[in-house]
Structure 1
């Protein structure tokens, strides 16, 4: 594919609008509304989000899965010793980006991040399929390995180790993070690239709502 062909790719956004009079005043409720609509649209992995971190003045991004949200923030789970875990320890401020292309929508979230309680991590860990629980023990996430065989051998070892255990313990290095938003932007595609952008900014205990130019 040549550069000219890529530059010619265009999509006109005409499915919906986001006006001040129809946006909910609580950003968590607005997110919940849009998330429910993404579920109803049967979008593949509607909880997929790009997590962006900072380390040494450089930005790093990867897609992770949202596993819960409420008035306290947005939660996901991972290996605390992974690259992302080390970057979060260095700079505990991140951004999340959701793209629901079929609905011509995007949500951007920026805020601080902290670990969830051990009890919350335990509860989620034990809700996972048994294979996924063992997988959290298998992977030394982000480390260099020589081959796929390393993982398969380690999996076999741990399946044997845990075969008589009804409850597999959660690794201490694995658990949840909660992103506590300071800014949440809702983006709705519109015709002629004049997109709707509604920004919620945390002001003390309240949320300020503003429209941004596209």
Structure 2
């Protein structure tokens, strides 16, 4: 009888020990999984940080907010998440300040209007990364942009050529061509404004003249 009881106690001890090992093994597995998840998260964070750094060739570059307006035309500047955000431009001025623009024409004409020489950036059409406009390959399209310029930009010329191969009516243009168009459109706008002001002044003078005659 004693031998039987001893045997039962030994079996119970072995069972408890086995359970303890199983629990320990389970805990080790959970700890291992947690460590792997943390490592994966750290790697993802590092990847995201790297992506953010790549998209900003100059650390002074910023991102527009929902309240940002164009320095030239005072229209809304679109964020990268918006369909029209691919047309957004920004400039780092000589004093280090940042100005945003809703389209390429406003970006280029800002220098003419304010007699400035800025570092001008546009977004890569595919990645939305900021690229110096002087280094970008420019493609003229029929896409609707905020101010109806329709130019898109590529960091790599190969991407631009592939884009054109898929859209035969589009073409690569030089920056000087865009600058000239921007200058001409600005001059035409200023001329129109001057004419309107002149017409308004003439109208005011005629009105004053008629009032003078009526009083006499």
TM bin, normalised by shorter chain, reads under 0.3
What TM-score, normalized by structure 2, do the two folds share? Answer: 0.25
Greater share of residues in helix: 2
Q: Which has the higher strand share?
A: 1
Pick 1 or 2: higher relative contact order, CA cutoff 8 A, min separation 6.
1
* TM score, norm. by length of structure 1: 0.25
Q: Larger Cα Rg: Structure 1 or Structure 2?
A: 2
